[in-house]
Structure 1
Amino acid sequence: MTPPWEFADTAGAFCPHGRFGIAGAATGPLAGRTFAVKDFIDIAGHVTGAGNPRWLETHGPATATAPCVTALLEAGATMVGKTISDELAYSLNGDNFHYGTPLNAAAPDRVPGGSSSGSASAVSARLCDLALGTDSGGSVRVPASYCGLYGIRTTHGLMPLDGVVPFMPSLDVLGWFARDARLFAEAGAVLLPPAPARPPLARLMRGLDAEAEADEAARAALAPAIAAVERRFGGAAPVTIADDGLESWRVQFRLLSANETWSVLGPWIEEAKPVFGPAIGERFAFAKEMSGQDVTPAREARARITRRVRDMVGLDGVLCLPTAPGPAPLLTATGAAVESFRQRAQRLTCIAGLSGQPQINIPAATVDGAPIGLALIGPPGRDLDLLALAVTLEQTTAA
């Protein structure tokens, strides 16, 4: 019998060194399911490539398998390969300079989104049922929106990051993709710790400033999905998320993340002298520049942002907003237009990133035939409740 990981990679989602598999347990809640793993996550005996050939050359095989992979295997799911990541995770586009751009099966003329590009591509192309990714600045949420998938950024610190390449430690989290809400939630029941009893999620808020970041066509297309969520909660309160503007929040995110990234990866970059794609190279140059700067004001701003968002959501609130400004950029898009779109996306993704809160993407609509997602941000630690909400909403819209 041919192993389930021996198939043609029709999407270009898997990295060349990632074509191997591990059979899951014979029984368990995910028995018979398959999953892929972003090449930022360790599997014992294999080198984690982190999206860059030089990283692959200068690191040895992992000595242990990351707990998130082990949990899925023990639940019965079979691992079918390692997927392409944007170089050292420093992108939201999904076009790797060295390994190519994985297919966005939901919109083949558009990018899949990064940095968990290969994982999103593999699920979108039905090469596996689930895929693990990492999210620091939007690297699960954005590809999920672009590829029409469910995706989650988990609460910061809720899942152990053992065996995950560090990138921006105060922002790094694990996440995963699925095509349907029930499997999305079943994976969460395996991967996430049990949650203590808490009051139900009962309040919905619409982030008006976040909605303003989306294209007009995206806002119009998302309106029915937003209305469905409002019916679930009996209405929604309009709020302004950022009292000093989402661009100000994006700037704080950019400064802090660049400073952290260089502190973690800078020594290796200086020693190994890797070749980066142009856009990634520019970001690391900025990160090096920021390494010598005093980012205390940015850290203080982040603390204020965290308090504001957490106070807004409280113990039982959900914040609703577009996941991205619109559908994925076209594969042919270049230059200023791509950078402008990326910055608008970061104004949306930095909210949960800076505050450390869980956020899910729900595939909600299309614009010009390409998917766009609706984001729901919940209180810290309410990841399982957000997953259950996704199931409820999917059942409601399917009825």
Structure 2
Amino acid sequence: MSIWVTRFDPPAAGPGGLLRVAVKDAIDMAGVITTAGCAAVRDRAVLATSDARCLAGVRSAGAHIVGKTTLTELCVSPAGDNTTFGTPANPVAPDRIPGGSSSGSAVAVANGEADIGLGTDTGGSVRIPAACCAIVGLKTTWGRVPTEGVWPLAPSLDTVGPMARDVAGVVTGMRLLEPDWTVASRPARVVGRLRIAGVDPAVEDVVDAALHAVGFTVREVRLPGWEQTYDALDTIILGELWRAHHTLLDADGVGEIVNGGLDAGRYITEQQLAEAMVARAAWQAEVAAALDEVDVLALPTLVASPPLLTAFAGFPLTRLTAPFNLAGVPAISMPIPSPGFPVPASLQLVGPMYGEGLLCATGLAIERALDRPPLPD
């Protein structure tokens, strides 16, 4: 199945030459339609008159955009599936999901067709495909990267972030998004180990082993409000989805899952949204307090190995990612040594607001200390 919605002539050189960038087809490019992975949107679309603001650094750096990539319809599903545009094959484990919603950008990076992939992350849509495809993905601080010209799912949660085969590549991608951004001068020293119910013990074990091997000071951390985040997240995502895209309800070319989300969203009241925002503020304060005690938080990205393409229904893909969208904080996902796993387990590090430099410095230190799991040629 296709990685690409639109493909442009590739450059002659790859790594070490012209930088190749894959752009999720939820991000406007001048002169190209944006489909948002939805037939109804594609059929109504007109050519974008300008680039999304987040592409300004890509253009000024002279990087080559090699194409616009497949995604799940309207950025909704975290599995990476799309019946209309095709589900990109996971190059690490073809029998397993590629993860979504930024599936095409992740696969393009993992199989070497792009050096940097740009995606959006509202509940895990950069980190989940990065974890499924054994690459690195960075969810940026909410509001840091401009989203004008980016197809909205839930504007109060939406972020844009880079994916690459290693942390150094994500650093390059972050500099495309924010040219003056820099990596912190030192990595984290004290890591808060967060344990959430329902995670495969084998995944927890390899995360613990990686943190121990690097030599971090590790402290156990609890976030008592974790389980209460999901109601607020559902309210915000469904309510904002409806407010942004109510004209697509029952439209020809809109899939069942998205239509069901729109239908549910129309019953979300302004009072319910306001209450969800109050819950969000309390959760943000709880996460910030935890990050006052440690430099970063550490936990897996997924509760278990990525599910099979034939059996992903019910797998809690956003269980460990979405609460950090509600908090607004940055988070990076990266593969770690995982002998015997079908796909290397993914370590998720979470930093304070605008702490992307610290996360990348820490990720670089981890890669130096560990044998990085290899990707296919």
Q: Under a length normalisation based on structure 1, what TM-score does the superposition of the two structures give?
A: 0.85
User: What's the offset of the Cα at 1:295?
Assistant: 2.9
Between Structure 1 and Structure 2, which shows a larger proportion of helix residues?
A: 1
Between 1:181-190 and 1:348-357, the stretch displaced more is: 181-190
**Cα-Cα RMSD:** 2.5
Between 1:253-262 and 1:103-112, the stretch displaced more is: 253-262
* Contact 2:337/2:370 (<8 A) preserved: no
Aligned to 2:66: 80
After superposition, the C-alpha distances for 1:240-290 in whole angstroms (9 at most, x for unaligned) are 12x14x332122211121111111111x214x8143333333323222332
- Give yes or no for the alignment of 1:326 onto 2:284: no
After superposition, the C-alpha distances for 1:160-212 in whole angstroms (9 at most, x for unaligned) are 1122111111100001110022122122233226459989544310012x2x3
After superposition, the C-alpha distances for 1:32-70 in whole angstroms (9 at most, x for unaligned) are 221110000011011100001110121211111123333
Identity of aligned residues (%): 35
Structure 2 gap ranges (5+)? 373-377
- Give yes or no for the alignment of 1:14 onto 2:4: yes
State which of 45, 50, 64 in structure 1 corresponds to 2:36. 50
Structure 1 gap ranges (5+)? 1-10
After superposition, the C-alpha distances for 1:79-118 in whole angstroms (9 at most, x for unaligned) are 1111001100011000012112111101110010111011
Aligned to 1:220: 205
User: What's the offset of the Cα at 1:296?
Assistant: 2.7
CA 1:191/1:31 → structure 2, altered by over 3 Å: closer, same or farther?
farther
Aligned to 2:57: 71
Q: How does 1:104-143 map onto structure 2 within 5 Å? A: 104-143=90-129
Q: How does 1:195-234 map onto structure 2 within 5 Å? A: 201-208=188-195, 210=196, 212-229=197-214, 231=215, 233=216
* Contact 2:171/2:360 (<8 A) preserved: yes
Count, aligned residues: 369
Q: How does 1:150-161 map onto structure 2 within 5 Å? A: 150-161=136-147
Aligned to 1:33: 19
Distance 1:36 1:226 in 2: 31
* Contact 2:163/2:169 (<8 A) preserved: no
Distance 1:253 1:349 in 2: 11
Aligned to 1:256: 236
- Give yes or no for the alignment of 1:357 onto 2:345: no
- Give yes or no for the alignment of 1:61 onto 2:61: no
* Contact 1:188/1:384 (<8 A) preserved: no
Distance 2:92 2:63 in 1: 24
CA 1:381/1:286 → structure 2, altered by over 3 Å: closer, same or farther?
same
After superposition, the C-alpha distances for 1:276-328 in whole angstroms (9 at most, x for unaligned) are 33333332322233257633322211110000001211396200011111121
Distance 2:96 2:179 in 1: 36
Aligned to 2:360: 387
* Contact 1:263/1:291 (<8 A) preserved: no
